[in-house]
Structure 1
């Protein structure tokens, strides 16, 4: 498993061009200004006070003059403007990325800043940049103002072919092939692609964050003009994002990094902790599996066998077993990523509670889902959650998200964003090639590729295997199961060799209408991916991207037979050759190329694996540890392979202290035991409830880059105050809780997945003030400390369900079942009274009644204890 180098800080060089100082206001105002870079030009005109902007490439008009400007509550800065002055400069930036088309970037942009004055002396700067791969402009105001809209637009020939995305705020529609004028009246999302003669123009935006609102393109049928429409009716800002047009041939568009070049430089100085890689993901192929600890261990084992970086545990995971899964995975060289609904982290308090907790478990990243908004408020949430995850060294994948706006340059721990109709939507193969020329141009794309046995299976197996080359994503979440991949060993062999980050990307062949062939280099190896949509054909790939000399090219193609494994063949070729491969309907192929050296028969590299190790700790099982108490722990570590730089020690939870030094060894031979002993004290500031005391061994070993982390935990229970009097359960702290949908709600129904979104508890028309709202399967445990004598509650299904459900309620004391309701369906609350004398832990459970968990909103109403005072 290869670690990325520590990335250098951004270096920016800004040079004022000769004569670039602001022109005096008394100078004769010119009517047209041009800014150019290597054949790419933007022309700004000011006619009768109305500014317009056009784009030419190689002398050819690609975007005709279209309106620019904006409107605020205080002024209309799109008309009646006068020229004040100009500045010109060249902006040269060198920076590194953790993801994307290539690690090392260098951009050179010519900049024109036009200062304009409107009615009442209102000022506006129009900042225009030209690069070899496109043009961008933005507006800057002297101070923050309330912006009510932009005049910004792009003008194209009505007959220009177009590939457009009907807008929704999660960008998961099918793209439509049409013309600029033939598209219907409506809104279209970025990026939108148009062809004007020999040139293509990809329209999007860059550097959009919480300082502004997101936008889309509005269009009237028959017109070639596309106007920028903001997500908010009004937004307070001083500066807008870049309105961006990537322009050139398909190679220029596909290889462009303009969106990143325009973005705010990185806010993360040390990126050594950021790790892209391949990720096993179970949700699509085995939908209930994220709730299944044992099934997730199988995905971990698969990832470990194949040297994949991580396992993503999607919706359904439980805090009861995730820490143990993390320990299991990290001992095998695999990291864990956890899914969250964005609303789980929509407040600063949640971000400051939940994120540090999962980081303390050893989780390395989070998938955040269902943001589904381009408003300024939601963009400010992105800013806040990215700042907090960066502080905690948690990497991020955004799902149900907006498109990339260069955000991965600003926050390099973003590993991917969805904003695509990916594999979970079972897209037809016809929609795949266009993504290489549109969505994936602007940033990493979480398509979740390589569906072999899952999904609709319309694309060939080789087409699927080629997708993670054609589609770039810093984390590539593979869509299928271990069993599917292992039943296709040649396909898996190729996937195991694939990197997910690249030193170079080249467009090789293709067209948005039917196919895409891309080559990407990692170190001294090239990977080639080719996908087609439509009839069987011969696909060709010129190998001019290869360097001089002879190359071993291993081609992976479809074999005859439905869903058969791919076959591999080896050829020796040079950069002057063209690769031709016959592909079936919706087919494709992949390849890997390396230098043809004497005796070399494959480009494959040996997979890395960590040693098998054991770490035994005592005491085992649950230990009662009141605040202020102390106890002794011991640990013994051994491994089946020699290791170096071993460190073995407990990691004290907050409020705890450890007496005794870490055990260290420079080298440890295979099979040799290393032991340690420590005294641990529970501090007065310790959290109540179950607390894990991790014992951690870290070490290095030959054939593995970075350190291996092996951990076991002593589980301690810090008793909270025992209840007294007649408290409601909803007013007590929970020792543990799990819920089948969203969190357990106190004094509210469960309703939807967000915390605090419940309705009044209502059973058969009766409203109850106190109780618990749960969703099967659910468990809530509270500490009684042997001080209570009885528990009473009403049990039933909440009236908020839209279809009948069925549940069974169970009450247990210290693991012994005290009450079982049997299966209940909608109806009046069923009373339950249970003797809990001497019970230390009371657990309230709900099961699904045997017919799945749909609509199983289960209420414990008036749930109350009778305890000693």
Structure 2
């Protein structure tokens, strides 16, 4: 539908603007056959006044050719001189030949609550002007300008003329003085290049990513974007050396949208360094929250194993070590990264939740890039009890660009679906924050930074302490940043332990992934003690001091305590920390610093808000401090670390075979092993989809340690229940102590039930049978094809030693496939080996087991060997399992084939 034209300026309005000097006299009327002559003029929008802050203003002007520009001033000083703006569509060039046809102005005042970020309670006050222009052929353009005390933003609104809007580019730009110091990173769609200092004019010709920081004579300018919608692609900054002009470039040549189109906000955060660092303008400009109930959204610290030991996410027992550590230290989460198996994740979730720890899971974004995949996968893991997902590699995926409109549509879609399933989200290999954390408050963090993981990539020398000091003033201004600090055991880093500990406060993120092994953290008790206290939700943030590339000292308040993180790049020094950010009073200050010999030491002192804390910092060092009100007898700011008491839930039977329509009786006994009594205890059966459970839940208002709670239920499978393994859970939940924790503890155990398919008969290719269970090291198991790559159906014909096989299974180590035989088969045969698609690379082992007992296996087989024959007696076997190991040297190139895999059955 076409939008009605804007109401033209009335004679009274024109006279008023002329008298005010805001509009030049109109040109004489033109013949109807010629377009109206553009009228030069300028229009100013001022920020609401704030005491002690230079008032910002934006001026939009049209030159004699009707070409618009925008400039930004602070008081009487021009910070950003006039820069061309405008947009071009397939039907009109709306960057020239414009004339003003209407103007509207209003105040925008919003109060909202965040779950993450620099402060949870936000209050935004902005002045907004909408300037409506007409161009050649009466093409319309609304330019919306907002000016806040901490910055200026503008966007274009295009009406729907013919059902489709096609943008072919913007002329939007920012003009900087050539000599303005600049902190820039070369543009990539994953924003992981190192940031470096240069000047606006000396920067090499090319493209640079948002956010970009400039120092204009002591007034800082941070350029970025906000309010990006699924209708528009991402943008970068294009510059030509020596010009100081940074033009908006789009990652797609055309933007096609149905109906009206609103572009993202082109945003300049402007002020002193504290104003820029503390700004929430990116969130203030974004659409409001789409999630009404946020009670389930809980940021927190995360134990994470991948960085210090890349193979650990494949190891169930090792993941339990990280869960145990998180539980002992009161950390709410453990992230299981690439390599986890659905064969054991449900058990790990149950193990963790009984200890008060929730599990987060890693996904490659292509695993959930369709609506069907999202529905299936998020439903599945929500049933397991998983609390969040880390989605990775959105920067890849040709033919679309990692910041294309289609990719941004996926960001919104996946956030909508995860909100439905109450799953927290962490984006990796991603774009930068552009306000979505306000719109979708379960979005905890983004990567979009060259973070600590690069220490493990052959010791990347470009992640330096000096580089780290740039991030609070650049990348982290835009939104939460998943840098993953605490890499104490990474020998390639040049930062001190105090620097690493300071990052826990200097950097903000909703999920603080602590990237170290439990055994290494245990050797640094002062770091452990501090990390057990540091929050990830903040009521207030204040820049204490800093200079990009040199040092940063950030103070953040949570409740009545202040936490301070200081980091330094370069020479050691004494860092002064004025305590006026506390607002007044006497404070107990506990500071953890490097002891000068590779360790950490804690000191305590009492100071007033008018005094200054002096901290000695070693080369490339840092510190972390916590402040609390000084009262008589108070010796520490530490608060109790809340852990969950040990408990036991026994469920019988442990395993069962249940055919469709049949039932199994399940009994459970719960005992609190230690600690104070717990309250509001419930024991409940949780039947999976397609099952019913008969029997009432068991409840106790209070349960003391050693006192049993028991229950019995009958689970019945539907007549059309699908074959395979299914868990039949019984769940106990209780309040540990309402005075110390608001969360309920979840303890769960399950009967492992098998719904068997019909037993096979005759001579059967294994690839024709349903799998009861399967795991695979890379991508899915392929039937009658090699493993190929990560996607299903991407394998080639099974080929070993030059011989091609028509049937079989293509897998990747480490792999396991379970098939139901029901005792009906007596022989399994196959030709096994490394598929020719990896050449002479790869080393694997093959093993056949029946009902848990090993029946046959091979030595290590290499890619240069041919096929090995296997002929195995499987008489009486109910469940046959085919396993492939990695040969002891990792899983690279371990593409393995079970070629001509056949069962002989009666």
User: Which of 751, 765, 772 lines up with 2:809 in the alignment?
Assistant: 772
Q: 1:192 to 1:717 in 2, by over 3 A?
A: same
Q: Are 1:74 and 2:112 counterparts?
A: no
Matches within 5 A, 1:428-827: 428-562=464-598, 564=599, 566-620=600-654, 622-639=655-672, 640=674, 641-702=676-737, 703-801=740-838, 804-826=841-863, 827=865
Quote the Cα distance in structure 1 between the aligned partners of 2:233 and 2:287.
Answer: 16
Quote the Cα distance in structure 2 between the aligned partners of 1:599 and 1:302.
Answer: 32
Report the counterpart of residue 36 of structure 2 in structure 1.
none
Is 1:546–1:574's contact at 8 Å kept on the other side of the alignment?
no
Q: 1:723 to 1:145 in 2, by over 3 A?
A: farther
Quote the Cα distance in structure 1 between the aligned partners of 2:369 and 2:869.
Answer: 37
Quote the Cα distance in structure 2 between the aligned partners of 1:758 and 1:578.
Answer: 66
> Per-residue deviation at 1:203?
0.5
User: Which of 34, 55, 59 lines up with 1:43 in the alignment?
Assistant: 59
Deviations 1:6-51 (A, max 9, x none): xxxxxxxxxxxxxx99734994456111111031111111111211
Is 2:312–2:319's contact at 8 Å kept on the other side of the alignment?
yes
Structure 1 length-normalised TM = 0.95
Is 2:302–2:334's contact at 8 Å kept on the other side of the alignment?
yes
Report the counterpart of residue 31 of structure 2 in structure 1.
none
Is 2:840–2:862's contact at 8 Å kept on the other side of the alignment?
no
Report the counterpart of residue 839 of structure 1 in structure 2.
877
Report the counterpart of residue 185 of structure 2 in structure 1.
165
Deviations 1:728-773 (A, max 9, x none): 3333321111122232223332233344443443334444453322
Report the counterpart of residue 307 of structure 2 in structure 1.
284
User: Which of 141, 145, 165 lines up with 1:128 in the alignment?
Assistant: 145
Of stretches 716-725 and 55-64 in structure 1, the one that deviates more from structure 2 is 716-725
Of stretches 60-69 and 199-208 in structure 1, the one that deviates more from structure 2 is 60-69
Quote the Cα distance in structure 1 between the aligned partners of 2:549 and 2:629.
Answer: 34
Q: Are 1:249 and 2:269 counterparts?
A: no
Of stretches 413-422 and 730-739 in structure 1, the one that deviates more from structure 2 is 730-739
Report the counterpart of residue 420 of structure 1 in structure 2.
449
> Per-residue deviation at 1:727?
4.2
Matches within 5 A, 1:366-381: 366-372=389-395, 373-381=402-410
Report the counterpart of residue 358 of structure 1 in structure 2.
381
Report the counterpart of residue 312 of structure 1 in structure 2.
335
- Residue 347 of structure 2 aligns to a residue whose secondary structure is helix
Report the counterpart of residue 416 of structure 2 in structure 1.
387
- Residue 185 of structure 2 aligns to a residue whose secondary structure is strand
Is 1:24–1:84's contact at 8 Å kept on the other side of the alignment?
no
Report the counterpart of residue 854 of structure 1 in structure 2.
892
Quote the Cα distance in structure 2 between the aligned partners of 1:393 and 1:635.
Answer: 28
- Residue 772 of structure 1 aligns to a residue whose secondary structure is strand
Quote the Cα distance in structure 2 between the aligned partners of 1:548 and 1:453.
Answer: 39
Report the counterpart of residue 234 of structure 1 in structure 2.
254
Report the counterpart of residue 33 of structure 1 in structure 2.
43
Q: 1:725 to 1:110 in 2, by over 3 A?
A: farther
Is 1:636–1:675's contact at 8 Å kept on the other side of the alignment?
yes
Is 2:816–2:882's contact at 8 Å kept on the other side of the alignment?
yes
Quote the Cα distance in structure 2 between the aligned partners of 1:428 and 1:742.
Answer: 36
> Per-residue deviation at 1:794?
2.9
- Residue 838 of structure 2 aligns to a residue whose secondary structure is coil
Is 1:24–1:85's contact at 8 Å kept on the other side of the alignment?
no
> Per-residue deviation at 1:80?
2.1
Of stretches 158-167 and 21-30 in structure 1, the one that deviates more from structure 2 is 21-30
Q: 1:491 to 1:858 in 2, by over 3 A?
A: same
Q: 1:553 to 1:83 in 2, by over 3 A?
A: same
Deviations 1:84-132 (A, max 9, x none): 2111111111100000000000101111111112222221111111000
> Per-residue deviation at 1:590?
1.4
> Per-residue deviation at 1:710?
0.6
User: Which of 123, 131, 134 lines up with 1:114 in the alignment?
Assistant: 131
Is 1:554–1:569's contact at 8 Å kept on the other side of the alignment?
yes
Deviations 1:459-487 (A, max 9, x none): 11111111010000011000111111111
Structure 2 length-normalised TM = 0.91
Of stretches 56-65 and 36-45 in structure 1, the one that deviates more from structure 2 is 56-65
Is 1:654–1:685's contact at 8 Å kept on the other side of the alignment?
no
Of stretches 278-287 and 113-122 in structure 1, the one that deviates more from structure 2 is 113-122
> Per-residue deviation at 1:855?
1.2
> Per-residue deviation at 1:154?
0.9
> Per-residue deviation at 1:558?
1.1
Quote the Cα distance in structure 1 between the aligned partners of 2:10 and 2:773.
Answer: 71
> Per-residue deviation at 1:313?
0.7
> Per-residue deviation at 1:547?
2.2
Q: 1:51 to 1:747 in 2, by over 3 A?
A: farther
Quote the Cα distance in structure 2 between the aligned partners of 1:669 and 1:821.
Answer: 54
Is 2:715–2:728's contact at 8 Å kept on the other side of the alignment?
no
Report the counterpart of residue 11 of structure 1 in structure 2.
none
Quote the Cα distance in structure 2 between the aligned partners of 1:755 and 1:225.
Answer: 47
Q: 1:32 to 1:768 in 2, by over 3 A?
A: farther
Quote the Cα distance in structure 2 between the aligned partners of 1:769 and 1:378.
Answer: 38
> Per-residue deviation at 1:156?
0.5
Report the counterpart of residue 333 of structure 1 in structure 2.
356
Quote the Cα distance in structure 2 between the aligned partners of 1:188 and 1:865.
Answer: 60
Is 2:565–2:625's contact at 8 Å kept on the other side of the alignment?
yes
Of stretches 20-29 and 401-410 in structure 1, the one that deviates more from structure 2 is 20-29
Report the counterpart of residue 23 of structure 1 in structure 2.
9
Is 2:468–2:549's contact at 8 Å kept on the other side of the alignment?
no
Q: 1:685 to 1:443 in 2, by over 3 A?
A: farther
Of stretches 349-358 and 727-736 in structure 1, the one that deviates more from structure 2 is 727-736
Is 1:21–1:87's contact at 8 Å kept on the other side of the alignment?
no
> Per-residue deviation at 1:58?
2.2
Q: Give the total of aligned pairs.
A: 846
Quote the Cα distance in structure 1 between the aligned partners of 2:553 and 2:8.
Answer: 47
Deviations 1:255-286 (A, max 9, x none): 00000000011110100000000101011112
Of stretches 736-745 and 344-353 in structure 1, the one that deviates more from structure 2 is 736-745
- Residue 247 of structure 1 aligns to a residue whose secondary structure is strand
Quote the Cα distance in structure 2 between the aligned partners of 1:296 and 1:823.
Answer: 27
Report the counterpart of residue 207 of structure 2 in structure 1.
187
